Structures are given as structure tokens and as C-alpha cells.
Amino acid sequence: MFTLKPIAVCVSMLTIAPAALAQAPQLGQPIAPADIAPWDISIGPDGAGLPPGQGTAIEGEAIYVAKCQACHGEKGVRPNVALAGALVGGMGTLAPDKTPIKTVGSFWPYATTLFDYVRRAMPFQESKSLTADEVYAVSAYILNLNGIIGPNDVIDAHSLPKVRMPNRDGFIPFPRNPK
């Protein structure tokens, strides 16, 4: 038996649907640029976004001993915490016939990545607690331990992007618009 009930339901749904779509879900609140700024701290290979400050490996050694050595071990070679990973060594291990040891010196393609990671995530129990000068100094110390810079080389926003990492050409770039 034919009734108008299904047609009435369809008409009423089509009438109500535009009103429902016009309403926002009312979730959360708008975020202000000032609230985003403390988290918008990414540093790219070109060094854009590096803060003012500077440091040397000599200055960084004391900071490393106080804030990094407990997890990463003396001179970054033998970590005391399994998940910490070595920071130094591994040169020549990124070959098909070897077990790769991925350290800052053997694997990372850009020195700015070291600064970015240390500033954002280290020390593990107090992330984002180091000053810019401390991050530059610790970065310089780790780079020096890997034989990439000298102990008195000043690392800052100008010099850090110019540091040539041993594995800079070890990655195959992925095309942004593959066809």
C-alpha cells in the first residue's frame, strides 16, 4: 500500500539539512598567535628561525656534563639509557654490508636539525628548558665530539647553517610533486 509517509520524511530532511549544515560544531576556541609562538620553533636546514645567541664546544662541555651525560654517556659515545642513543661515532657504518650506527655525526644531514631537536626536546625530563646560548653551546660540543667543528669555533644563527655535515648528501630527496 502506497503512503505519503516516505515522501514526507524525505522532504522534511531536505528542509532541515541546510540549517544543520550552516551551524559550526562549537568545539574549542580560537587560538591567538601569542599562544602559538612558543610552539612555532621549527628550524629548517637554511637556519631560518634560529634565535640570537652563540656558544662554543668549550662552553658546551660543562652543560653537557650537567644536563646530557646522565642519559647519553660520557662524550656521547656510550648511552646510559637504552633509548637515548649514541651521539658520537658510527662514521662509515651507513653501508649496505654494515650495521648502521646512526649518530649526529654519521647520519644527520644538517647541523640545524641538532639545534632544533635539542631546543625542543632536551633534556628529556626538562624539555625546552635550555637558553639559546646553552643550546648553541651543547650543539657545538656535540659537533666537536664528532670532529665536525673545532673546540673554539663559535656557533650562532649565522654559522650553524654553514656547518657541512658528513652525511649531507646521503639522502635521496623525495620530489614534492611526483608525477
User: What CATH number is associated with residue 156?
Assistant: 1.10.760.10
In this structure, is residue 17 part of a structural domain?
Answer: no
Distance of CA 52 to the CA centre of its chain: 18
DSSP state of 6: H
In this structure, is residue 14 part of a structural domain?
Answer: no
User: 156 φ, ψ to 5°?
Assistant: -150, -170
Query: What pLDDT does 175 receive?
Result: 76
Distance between CA atoms of residues 137 and 55, nearest Å: 4
Q: Quick one: which H or E segment has residue 23?
A: none
- Number of domains making up the chain: 1
Give residue 111's domain range.
52-162
Query: What pLDDT does 160 receive?
Result: 98
pLDDT in tens, the chain (179 residues): 677 787 877 777 778 777 666 666 778 888 888 988 877 888 989 999 999 999 999 999 999 999 999 999 999 888 878 788 889 998 888 888 888 888 899 999 999 999 999 999 999 999 999 999 999 999 999 999 999 999 999 999 999 999 999 998 888 777 777 66
In this structure, is residue 15 part of a structural domain?
Answer: no
In this structure, is residue 133 part of a structural domain?
Answer: yes
Distance between CA atoms of residues 64 and 88, nearest Å: 13
Q: What is the pTM of this model?
A: 0.77
Task: Give the E-state strand segments of the chain in sequence order.
Answer: 54-55, 155-156
